[in-house]
Amino acid sequence: MGRKFGVSFSWKRALGISGAKASISRKIGIPLTRQGRQRKFGRMAGCCVILFFLVVTMTFCVIAIAAIIKAF
């Protein structure tokens, strides 16, 4: 996207609301925007999916080994 020319004004930036929200967000570690929260949750869920499959695989292996040992 190209550069936009002209004058723009943001009353939220002028009053310091944008900076305050950003500061609060950094301190609490949770984004205050909907899109930011969705991205954060998506990253966490992606990590949990991998962990879930590892746990399921390990559980299946333990059950299979226990069944083999029990058969003897």
Structure confidence at residue 70 (pLDDT): 85
Predicted model pTM: 0.46
**% of the chain at pLDDT higher than 90:** 26
18-47: pLDDT as tens digits: 899 899 999 998 888 899 988 888 877 777
pLDDT band, residue 2 (cuts 50/70/90): low
Q: What residue ranges do the domains of the chain occupy?
A: 11-71
Q: Is the pLDDT of residue 1 over 70?
A: no
Tokens 């003897």 found at? 72
Alpha-helical regions (H) of 1-72: 11-15, 17-28, 34-71
Distance CA 15, CA 31 (A): 20
